[in-house]
Amino acid sequence: MIFAFCSLILFFSGSAFAVSNSPIHWGFKKARNEVPPEAGEYYDELLKKYDAFYKGSPDEKTVYLTFDNGYENGYTDKILDVLKKEKVPATFFVTGHYLESAPDLVKRMVEEGHIVGNHSWSHPDFTQLTDERIVQELDKVKEKTKELTGQKEMLFVRPPRGILSERTLKVSREAGYIHVLWSLAFVDWKTDQQQGWQYAYNEIMKQIHPGAVILLHTVSKDNADALEKAIVDIKKRGYTFKSLNDYLLKESLDNKNMIY
């Protein structure tokens, strides 16, 4: 009886402190009139706990441009040309498939000063994987990127399918990775439902806001065609494009206890 009672206490104690693996499908009401969107206090605190983020300071007209690269669809060269012309830094979150099928483009990203981030090797739902498998997915991308480009560090991860949980945040952070989510996005990845450059341009400009982390997919022709005008017009509104490394530097200066 005593043993059973103690076991029951341990069971409930362990459950009380267990890290949740309840899936979170990232998304919230879009920004309008240059007012940053809010995910809510719960998610703000959860992300902060693991140094993750989805937007920068609402007090500075700074934006961060990111792309998800699951596979190559013929538009990344054009995107890189625009970034080079406009002197805009970006982060490209790549998968294992992308690394194996488009190595020259990944090399070009790094050569031209962009960050290559981690989008997992096989694009699974992390909440369905063991801790060990999550780390394997991440580290395989990191090592292959280093082999191809010489980029030694890989700090940023974007969860495949936009699905995460407190457990996947914790496992990733303990493995040395920080989740980067987003505050500006739209349905742009459906290659059979492209709506023209004006659609992509309008979506970007409608949602732009101080501290925006912009998520675009490189498989989209609309994005490739709209990107230069969007960048030029965002700059005209007084915004500055900075890299995710700039974000971390600012955070580390603002919060001396943060270690990356």
* Catalytic residue (one of 114, 179, 209, 217): 217
Ranges 16-30, 52-66, 132-146, 172-186: which has the least confidence: 16-30
Please determine, for residue 260, whether its predicted confidence score (pLDDT) is greater than 80.
no
Where are the domains positioned within the chain? 23-254
Q: Look at 18-22, 162-166, 187-191 and tell me which has the smallest mean pLDDT.
A: 18-22
Q: Which of 68, 188, 222, 225 is an active site residue?
A: 68
Residue 255 has pLDDT above 80, yes or no: no
Q: What are phi and psi of 258, to 5 degrees?
A: -80, 135
Q: What is the pLDDT of residue 217?
A: 98
Tell me, yes or no, if 114 is annotated catalytic. no
DSSP string, the chain: -HHHHHHHHHHHHHHHTPPP---EE---PPPBTTBPP---HHHHHHHHHTT-BSB--TTS-EEEEEEEESS--S-HHHHHHHHHHHT--EEEEE-HHHHHH-HHHHHHHHHTTPEEEE--SS---GGGS-HHHHHHHHHHHHHHHHHHH------EE--GGGEE-HHHHHHHHHTT-EEB--SB--S---GGG---HHHHHHHHHHH--TTBEEEEETT-HHHHHHHHHHHHHHHHTT-EEE-HHHHHHHHHHH-TT---
Report pLDDT for 250. 80
68 as an active site residue: the answer is yes
Q: What is the pTM of this model?
A: 0.90
For residue 119, which amino acid is it? H
C-alpha 103/C-alpha 232 separation (Å) is 29
Sorting pLDDT into bands at 50, 70 and 90, what band is 256?
low
**Other CB atoms closer than 10 Å to residue 220's CB: what's the count?**
27
Query: For the domain 23-254, what is the CATH superfamily, name and number?
Result: Glycoside hydrolase/deacetylase (3.20.20.370)
Mean pLDDT of the chain: 91
pLDDT, one tens digit per residue, over 88-144 is 999 999 999 999 999 999 999 999 999 999 999 999 999 999 999 999 999 999 999
